[in-house]
Every structure is written in structure tokens, then in C-alpha cells.
Amino acid sequence: MDSTKLSLAVAFALFVLLSSADATAKSLCCIDRVFTFGDSMTDAGNACQVQGGNCGVIPYGETYFHKPNGRWCDGRLIVDFIAQAYGLPLPPPSMAGNTREYFLNGANFAYAGSMALNISTYKKVTGLDRAGPDHSLGIQLQSFKDLLPVISQGSSVTAVMTNSLFIVGEIGGVDYIGGLVSNKPTEEMKSWTPSVVAAIGSAVNDLINLGATTLIVPGNFAIGCAPWFLTLLKSNNSGDYDSQTGCLKKLNELAVYHNTMLTQELAKQRLLHPLANIVYADYYGAQTQLILTSKSRDIPAPLYACCGAPGQPYNFSLNMQCGSKGSQVCPDPTKYISWDGNHLTEAANNVIANGILYGPYAIPPLV
């Protein structure tokens, strides 16, 4: 199935989800805390605190924080803009605090490199080994559960859960990245999708059973548009590229396939929990629209990284990544979508967040 047909399938799934949505979605004024889970697209500093990395060196953080602060970005993330829209401070990294005061407005449990599947399940599903500590979605959720008695001090678990916004993702992209760097065919990786989506659905179900009433569940980004994979999986066949975006079609078809199954899973969760407001965030749609409208936004090279290897295709090289010796940063990150070849710029995050908060990329709408 080509990406156009898959996109139509996503649109239909979104229509079904919207048709079944409860019309009483909370307005942006009614949230006291924001809790987030995910990978490096959401991580506010947990991985950087534990294991370090380029996220802890200049130019990371330069646009908004004027110094590195643990985010894999030049500034704020999508979840940061969402929190600010609710009048709340940026969700701090969960591993940096352990008091009620620290979690007063929520926290960010995301960890760079995290998968939806835990390491043992990933091995069973994919046949691939995964090194390193396990910070997968279920582990992040358990960390939240362990901290819930601290978070709810002076209040109640019910009050915390019902007055909080939970952003579950983006998560699942790393599950497929392991296959891509191992040269697995995308058709084979599609067989992993039911397990990946089930892990996300399980986390949503667990949060609702704990008392959560408002959740945002993002889909995967357009991974075929990332400079990293455009470089790694470069093809001499022009037919492998989308004629409108220049992105790798098979990778984006994989993302759309995942997102289609995720919207179907969320529709099931809504039937199980009719009183919960479960919002699908279409990161893929918002990102690809940003690429398609890049000229009108004064973004001359929408598939190039702002920070990376000068003179290399897409301004990216695994041997000279952003923040490493010899890398260079662009003079104006607002004219780029990709920050470092894998993560987005603050400017792109802002556009996508606005599309979720106020535009057509949240189903059902948040406001």
C-alpha cells in the first residue's frame, strides 16, 4: 500500500475517532499539572543527567535557555509549548527531584532512546538485541506510579489524576529505528507494529485506571524526512522519494502504518473508557504540512539539519554530529525544521504544538 492510501486510512481512522469523541473536552484553563512520557523528542534532561551526551554541550539549548539544559533541541520541545499554553512551567525531568514541591506542576518522565517495548519483549518480537538500561514506556510509567504518593501529598491521588494532562509519547519511533539501522525491511517491521501499539495502549489504559481523565497520545513523526535516515538510507532510485516532500517513501509509509494502528487502538480505549478524553496528536501530519509549506515560511532547505556536518548531504554525518568537534550550527534555527538531523528545532516544535493545541492536528480538538 502506498503512502497516499495509508494517509487516507489514517484520515478515516481519525474520522471514526472524532465521531466517537466526547464533546466535553477540557479547555486549556483546567489543568494543574502536565506529566509526559516518551523518548528523546520529549526528554527534558533525564538521559543527559544519567549518561551525558551532546545534549549537555553548546549549541544545544542556545535559542531559549542560552545554555544546554538536557533537551535534544536548541530550545523548547512540543510538550513544553503545550504546558505553557496551559499557563504552566516547563515539565522538569523526573529524575532531578523527589519532593512534592518539585512535582507541583507535573514532570517529564521521558528518556532519550526509550522504546515502547521493554527490552525482553523487543527481543522476542524483533529478534534484535538492545544494549543499555531499560527506560521503556512501562518503566517510565512505573516510575510515575512509584512517585505518585509523593506527588499527591497534601491532596489525593484522585485529585492529581483528574486535574492533570498526560502526554504519552511520542513513543515507538525508537522501536523501528533499531530495525532501520539493522537493515530490516520495512515490511518486516510492520509485523512489529501490533506489539508496539499494544504497549502504548496498555500505558493509556493503566493511566486511566489510575484516574487519568485527559490524555494526549501522539503518533510517530515522519521518519522518512529525518536527515539522519535520508543520509543512512540514501537511494539512487528517484522513485524511493516522495515527489512533493523529498522524503523516503517506505519509511514514511511505516510511520503512517503505525499511526493508523494507533488511532484504532485509541478508538478501542475510548470504548473501554467513555468518560476519559483521549486525544490523538497527529505529529506526522503537522510535520509534513510544515515541510510542504516551507517556502512560504522562509525555510529554504526543509530536509537539512541546522546543526551538523557542513558540506555533507542534508548537513548530517554520523561522524560529525551536532555538538561534536568540527560541527557547525546555522545562524538562524527558525529557518530550519531539523535541529541536529534527528530532532526538531524549537521553531518547528512550536508550529507542531500550535497545530495540536489550536489547529487540525488534535482529534478530538483540545479547545
pLDDT value for 106? 98
Q: Hey, which residues are catalytic here?
A: 40, 340, 343
Read off the pLDDT of each residue in 105-126 and give the average, rounded to a whole number: 98
Cell of 343: 530532532
How confident is the model over 162-203, as pLDDT tens digits? 999 999 999 999 999 999 999 999 999 999 999 999 999 999
pLDDT value for 75? 98
User: Which of these, 78, 79, 136, 135, lies nearest to 106 by C-alpha position?
Assistant: 79
Cell of 115: 522504546
Q: Is 127 left (phi over 0), alpha (psi -120 to 50) or beta?
A: left
Instruction: Sheet with 164-168: list strands edge to edge.
Output: 106-108, 33-37, 164-168, 214-218, 277-281, 362-363
User: Which of these, 269, 226, 267, lies nearest to 248 by C-alpha position?
Assistant: 226
pLDDT value for 23? 31
Read off the pLDDT of each residue in 1-19 and give the average, rounded to a whole number: 44
User: Which of these, 292, 287, 245, 284, lies nearest to 262 by C-alpha position?
Assistant: 284
Using a 10 angstrom Cβ sphere, with 0-12 exposed, 13-18 middle and 19 or more buried, the burial of residue 154 is: exposed
Q: For residue 327, which amino acid is it?
A: S
How confident is the model over 263-321, as pLDDT tens digits? 999 999 999 999 999 999 999 999 999 999 999 999 999 999 999 999 999 999 999 99
308 SS3 class:
strand
How confident is the model over 37-54, as pLDDT tens digits? 999 999 999 999 999 999
DSSP symbols for 88-133 = -PPPPBGGG--STTTTTTEEE---TT--SS-HHHHHHHH-----S-
CA angle 217, 41, 194 (to 5 degrees): 45
How confident is the model over 12-21, as pLDDT tens digits? 444 444 433 3
Yes or no: say if 18 and 364 are a contact pair by the CB < 8 Å rule.
yes
Asked if the model's pLDDT at residue 1 lies above 60, the reply is: no
How confident is the model over 123-170, as pLDDT tens digits? 999 999 998 899 999 999 999 999 999 999 999 999 999 999 999 999
How confident is the model over 236-260, as pLDDT tens digits? 999 999 999 999 999 999 999 999 9
Looking at residue 57, the DSSP 8-state letter turns out to be: S
Looking at every residue in the chain, the average pLDDT score rounds to 93
Cell of 162: 483528574
pLDDT value for 132? 81
How confident is the model over 331-349, as pLDDT tens digits? 999 999 999 999 999 999 9
pLDDT value for 367? 79
Quote the CA–CA distance of 124 and 242 in Å, as a whole number: 33
E strand or H helix that includes residue 279: strand 277-281
pLDDT value for 19? 38
> Percent of the chain scored above 70 by pLDDT?
92
pLDDT value for 32? 96
pLDDT value for 340? 98
